Structure 1
Amino acid sequence: MGGLTTDPAFLDTTYVVIDFESATPRGYPAQPIEVAVRALRYENRAWITAGRFHSLIRPPAFAPVTSATVPPGVTADEVRAAPEPPEAMGALDRRFTADRRYLLVAQHAATEANLIHQQRDHCPALARIDLLDTIPLAKHLLPGLPAYNLDTLLRHFAILYPADRHRATADVDVTTDVFTRLITLADESARITDLAALLKIAGRTATLNQPEHHGLFDL
């Protein structure tokens, strides 16, 4: 194996695969209606699941719940009875502790990053965690694929397509499968030797961690 999975920084990190399902009401940004996470650690040359979280989320009044906006297999009544964003996102935020290093892992991480940033008042710890995007990582390790969406990567790796695809927990699980296979590829090829190199290829800085850009004439 290569140096990536023996790198102390890599081993010291908890990788939190995250997925939101959302609805986009007219005139407003996307609103989360479901979230799932799966926390992973690499120990003794194997991936272990260190924790899970899932919640439906009741959107605000300006994003009315209809049968067309709920995730497949969920009723509008279930979403209306779900916790509101402060409760749901706050419960997730409390799963993170100050004494651990985390990276969020997502397929097309910009989507998750934007939703988290919009909810930052309810999840300040989560909103400070940087991200790793499986798409640029797959492009680096698997050049020449016809596309790099999740379905294409599932077919490439022969990962079973879940019956409840487009539910947050199912998508987290298959994204986990893609992520761990990509790490194995990186490790076996020795093309990515440590966490810093991995982040240079596929990292995304959380919006709250980015430097502020002041206007030219700010005083």
Structure 2
Amino acid sequence: MARDTSAMSDVCFVGLRLRLETRSGHRPEPVELNALARRGATEVTAWSVHNAVVPPEPGTPPPPPVKTPVPEPAAGSLAAAFAEVERRVGREEPHALVATHGFIEKTLVWEQRPYCPRLASCPLLDVMALAAIVQPTATPLGFDARLRLAGIEIPPDRSLSWDTDAMMRLFHTVVSAGVAAGRWSSLEDLVRAAGSVPPPIEPEFMPELPVDVQESLFD
């Protein structure tokens, strides 16, 4: 890296959860999005976003590729939900996405990158893989089992917002345990352990950023 801006206390970690619905013969579509940001590996919330999403009707053709200037997203669309998250992503500090496994989140964020280019440029951390490093088990554990192992009680009336908060509490627990054990001390360490870095965003979608913010994690 050209400059060290990625000490964990400097990073805004953005937890992202989606609720999907599956219609016969079609891929699962998001119907709800929740994002929760915490600065450093703390339990203090910096901001949160919650939006219902109106999925496209079955048989709707995929939208054409977005060109610049990027049009306003349709109200209630997934693009509009990600655009609202994007408005909270600051330009003066590095960010990282946090998800459980993260394949769906990574795919959808990338597809919507014209509306959330800073968000789509963030590395993504898999909290489940981090938890397995800190506390390995004989067989893989699901999200709920990991929460219980971390001492997080699951309410009977859980919501997506609760799930996002619980995921970030789990993230705080496993990151703190890894720091104490000397496993990691920076964002780069977390990415190497259980993360991924997206390809560069097309320049026409990317806003101007200070030169020392959101640099590539690895030269």
TM-score using structure 1 length: 0.74
Say if 1:38 and 1:52, in contact at 8 Å, map to a contact too: yes
The aligned counterpart of 1:187 is 179
Matched, 1:51 2:47: yes
Structure 1 counterpart SS, 2:43: strand
Shift of 1:102: 0.4
Aligned positions of 1:1-219 closer than 5 A: 9-42=7-40, 46-62=42-58, 83-165=76-158, 167-206=159-198
Q: Identify, as 1 or 2, the structure richer in helix.
A: 1
Structure 2 counterpart SS, 1:51: strand
Structure 2 counterpart SS, 1:172: helix
Structure 1 counterpart SS, 2:38: strand
Distance 1:63 1:32 in 2: 16
* Contiguous gaps of at least 5 residues in structure 1: 1-6, 65-81, 210-219
Q: Which amino acid letter does the alignment assign opposite residue 173 of structure 1?
A: D
Distance 1:163 1:93 in 2: 32
Shift of 1:136: 1.5
The aligned counterpart of 1:76 is none
Shift of 1:109: 1.2
Structure 2 counterpart SS, 1:99: coil
- Percentage identity across paired residues of the two chains: 28
Say if 2:39 and 2:45, in contact at 8 Å, map to a contact too: yes
Distance 1:8 1:31 in 2: 34
Distance 2:126 2:11 in 1: 16
Say if 2:36 and 2:49, in contact at 8 Å, map to a contact too: yes
Shift of 1:203: 1.1
Q: How many residue pairs are counted as aligned between the two chains?
A: 183
Structure 1 counterpart SS, 2:190: helix
CA RMSD of aligned residues (A): 2.4
Structure 2 counterpart SS, 1:98: coil
Q: Which amino acid letter does the alignment assign opposite residue 61 of structure 1?
A: E
Say if 1:164 and 1:170, in contact at 8 Å, map to a contact too: no
Shift of 1:31: 1.9
